Structure 1
Amino acid sequence: MDVAQLKNQARMELMKSKEDSVDSILEEAKNKLADVAQDRTKYAQIMELLLIQGLLALLEPTVTIRCKETDSCLVETILPRVLDAYESITGAPVDLKIDDTNLEPQCAGGVELSAQGGQLYLSNTLESRLDLLAWQARPEIRDILFGRNPNRMFAD
């Protein structure tokens, strides 16, 4: 092997090691998601905001909510506040139904919303929110951990 190939191989190994570090941090965050539901007051606020955000994203007159079986009572409790908030923002009512099918027990929490017989679907679970955040913040996470790459003109 010549020097250029060895340099390239070393560079690729370093990049892989950095990506593995970022992935392990994100995996650790995912493992801690279940702790969010332990503080029921804070979790109720989060669920309320997730529902309102999901309803505003769909803007449908009839929406079905899926949640964990353990969150069903919580969702029923916060529905009046969610409905009031949605109507005050949009000026339109929404008919909400809690689905008989629940999210998997290993899900950390959150909701899935569907409309138009399942043709419109929005996942607002804690895992899906973390995945979205991880995808959007990956360049910043790399910069924090390893410093800014001087060879990059743009952040992705």
Structure 2
Amino acid sequence: RYLCRGPLVALSTPSTPASKMNDVEINQQIKQMQQFIHQEAAEKASEIKLKADEEFNIEKLRMVEAEKAKIRAEYERKEKQIEVQKRISQSNEVRLGRLRCLKARDDAMQAILAETAAKLPSLTAGSGYASLLEKLILEALIRIDEAKVSVRGVAGQAPAAQKACTAAAAKYKDWAAKNKDAAFASSIEVAWDSSPLAAGIGGVEVSGFGGKISLTNTLQSRLMLAYETRLPKLRAALFA
């Protein structure tokens, strides 16, 4: 046995061609793995990007369509509002046109009425006024159909009205004798009231039933009666 003194020296193993081949293969495999990993990462990144782009495009399309729908709804609302305002404006124009037409017609009718009323004073100065006054009194007496009545005329016409009242009272009694009983006819009293009417051009006012019922039969009242009853014919004649 020998005892070796001193440091141990590692014995180097000489490299062989087989070990070098293993290193090359390992490096190639490492490179292949790196390339595979890079390719996988690139494909994954591309896939993620495509998916992100697709989701972005879908969301963008959704937002665009939503905004379009909002714009269309707002446009339709404004269009309907404009249409409603247009119809209201047209309706107002038609209504105003009708009102103007009606006012023009009414003004024309009122002008005719005023023109006719202006001719009433001339009737009281005519020769036929006494007969007209008598007829007005008799008509009022028959319409009231009362035994005890009073008659009064307009201011300034007392003599003519009182004379017409006497003649009308006699004819009223004749009418009552034919159309009423004898007791009614014999009890007729037509009194003249000297207090004149507050206003009027011609005609009379007849009161009965103790003054509870009065019938105004003046020229103005007869004119208004004729105007109202003949108004449709007047309108047809003027505006047909």
Q: Tell me if both proteins adopt one fold, taking TM over 0.5 as the criterion.
A: yes
Counterpart residue identity of residue 111, structure 1: V
Post-superposition Cα deviations, 1:87-135, rounded to whole Å, max 9, x if no partner, equal 221111421111121023x521000010122101100010111111111
Deviation at 1:32, TM superposition (A): 1.3
SS in 2 for 1:60: coil
Equivalent residue number for residue 142 of structure 1: 235
Aligned partners of 2:153 and 2:209: how far apart in 1? 18
The structure that is helix-richer by fraction is 2
1:6 is aligned to 2:100 = no
1:65 is aligned to 2:156 = no
Which 10-residue stretch deviates more, 112-121 or 42-51? 112-121
The structure that is strand-richer by fraction is 1
Equivalent residue number for residue 102 of structure 1: 196
Counterpart residue identity of residue 107, structure 1: G
1:33 is aligned to 2:120 = yes
SS in 2 for 1:53: helix
SS in 1 for 2:206: strand
Equivalent residue number for residue 78 of structure 1: 164
Aligned partners of 2:100 and 2:155: how far apart in 1? 44
1:124 is aligned to 2:206 = no
SS in 2 for 1:70: coil
Aligned partners of 1:77 and 1:85: how far apart in 2? 13
Post-superposition Cα deviations, 1:34-85, rounded to whole Å, max 9, x if no partner, equal 111011x300000000010000001111111110232211123233421221
Identity %: 27
Aligned partners of 1:145 and 1:79: how far apart in 2? 39
| Superposed structure 1 runs of 4+ greater than 6 Å apart | none
TM-score, length basis structure 1: 0.86
Unaligned runs of 5+ in 1: 148-156
Equivalenced residue count is 145
Once the two structures are superposed, the pairs formed by residues 43-62 of structure 1 within 5 Å of their partners are 43-62=129-148
SS in 2 for 1:133: helix
Aligned partners of 1:73 and 1:144: how far apart in 2? 40
Contact 2:158 2:194 (8 Å CA) reproduced: no
Aligned partners of 2:112 and 2:98: how far apart in 1? 22
Equivalent residue number for residue 208 of structure 2: 115
Aligned partners of 1:60 and 1:17: how far apart in 2? 45
Deviation at 1:7, TM superposition (A): 2.0
Q: CA RMSD in A?
A: 1.5
